[in-house]
Structure 1
Amino acid sequence: MNIRILLGVLGIAAAPLAFPAVAADNAQTFVNKAAIGGMFEVDSSRIAQDRAKDQQVKNFAEKMIADHGAANEKLKKIAGEQKLEAPAQPDAPHKSDLEKLQNTTKGFDQPYVEMQRGAHADAVDLFQSYAKDGDNPSLKAFAAETLPTLKMHQDMIEKIAAANAGMPAIKSASTPKPPAPVPGANSFTETQAKNHIEDAGYTDVSSLAKDSQGIWRGQAKKDGKSTSVALDYQGNVFADEQ
């Protein structure tokens, strides 16, 4: 809700995004992931307001705080009405990312942007999945209403990343899948990488490690057969042919 990356730049003040990688199984799971992702966006963006150097990044962080802050309050209200409990604090992985940001004294903008790219990819997946197949009408409506804002945030942060790093943006739904993993600064955490690979139909994902090109590589099973797998920074999953 999962550079999922500190959740800065684009994802602070708006509702969290998530794709199949963080798809919600039920209403409480959705609330947990959306709330934690939203808190991460706001908290990481508050750090960015003080530490970021680039004005675009600062502006993005300000918008994250406003948008995600409002979405977080709305989610909390709906969760209460539905007799569900919204987490009051980030989980351990997000706390760790926040600590990394807080302790970054030089070159803050790049890790924040990468965290925001990953966070918004996860948020879009989560909200998109729940808006389509969620089990609670009120939360489904919230996910559907929030999704366009999350996609807008994702587009913003991708443009910032491309401008600042000269990197191509993360693929969109209309972007053809490349023939091989695309090298690039990978914003996915190990957990997020595992989730994306599982969403591509693989099971028993193990031994994940990020190589020098920013590509997550590991082992998995599909159709009962063991295979090597790879995940690039765009979210493309491949049967790994090294």
Structure 2
Amino acid sequence: MKPRHLLASLAAASMLIAMPALAADSAQDFVDKAAVGGKFEVDSSKIAQDKAQDQSIKNFAQTMIRDHGAANAKLETIAGDQKLKVPTALDAPHQGDLDKLQNAQPPIDPAYVDMQRKAHADAVKLFESYARDGDNAALKTFAQQTVGTLKMHQQMIEKIAAAQDSITGATTPAVKTTNAPNAAGLVPGANSFTETQAKSRIEDAGYSNVSKLAKDDQGIWRGQATKSGQSVAVGLDYQGNVVADSK
């Protein structure tokens, strides 16, 4: 009987040890994504303050620096209290976008607006999910308190995008979505890319001989291009997704 009691005790102890580890993994994942996203918001907005031409975009960038700076500091404090690590550097995709913005020739306004729309779609989805299902009470409360501000930012950047469309002559599509980027398809939405920027983005994705670009009624740039020696139809949506398209 004693060996059985010993095994039962060890099993119970192992479960107690494992449970915090599982919780910490999920909480750490939230901290990683929230911290990187917040840092990208601040860093990209500092570039926009220097290089953007539209004053409304400069004002939005200042709001991002203020609000996300405060949220980042609060997240760092909570994570420290929970013995979680806060990343100090951007991941490769965010750093790549930041480098493109930093090295872009003016005007950078459309590129910054596009990045902010994507970033806030991702952030709202992340914070809403953790506010609802989070496994760390302190971080869950933080997500609940912050998601409202993120949604407000999202509304602000959508209004700016619509204003930019009116300047460039683009039309807001009848179908809109705030979904995160979908690598398997093109997402309808108000597209702030100019034709030149759309062509450059498609070329960066590995296509050449990009031609016949035209924006359809869903805000998607469509045209012809060459890849791997073959001529294909290609599309670019407002989030920057580039997909070979049969349409």
- Find the aligned partners of 1:144 and 1:60 in 2 and give their Cα distance: 23
Higher share of residues assigned helix? 2
C-alpha distance in 1 between matches for 2:192 and 2:59: 23
Task: Report 1:7-18 matches (<5 A).
Answer: none
Confirm or deny: 8 A CA contact 1:183 1:214 kept in the other structure: no
Q: Distance in 2 between matches of 1:93 and 1:134?
A: 25
Runs of 4+ aligned residues of structure 1 deviating over 4 Å after TM superposition are 230-234
* Corresponding position of 1:171: 177
Question: Could you tell me the percent identity over the aligned residues?
Answer: 58
Structure 2 gaps, min length 5: 1-24, 180-185, 194-206, 214-219, 223-234, 240-244
Matches of 1:232 and 1:134, distance apart in 2: 32
Aligned-partner SS, 2:66: helix
CA distance in 1, matches of 2:47, 2:95: 13
Alignment partner for residue 182 of structure 1, among 167, 188, 196?
Answer: 188
Alignment of 1:106-185 (within 5 A): 106-166=106-166, 167-168=171-172, 170-171=176-177, 182=188, 185=191
Which residue of 1 is the match for residue 86 of structure 2? 86
Q: Which has the larger radius of gyration?
A: 2
Cα distance in 2 between the residues matched to 1:90 and 1:214: 29
Aligned to 2:70: 70
Q: Flag the structure with more relative contact order, 1 or 2, with Cα contacts below 8 A and sequence separation at least 6.
A: 1
Over the residues paired in the alignment, what is the CA RMSD in angstroms?
Answer: 3.1
| TM-fit CA distance, 1:92 | 1.1
Is the Cα–Cα contact under 8 Å of residues 56 and 160 in structure 1 kept in the other structure? Answer: yes
- Structure 1 match to 2:29: 29
Judging changes above 3 Å, is the alpha-carbon distance between structure 1 residues 231 and 103 closer, same or farther for their aligned structure 2 residues? closer
* TM-score, length basis structure 2: 0.62
Counterpart for residue 43 of structure 1: 43
- State the distance in 1 between where 2:111 and 2:153 align: 17
Aligned to 2:16: none
Deviations 1:126-152 (A, max 9, x none): 000100011111100000000000000
Query: Aligned letter for 1:83?
Result: K
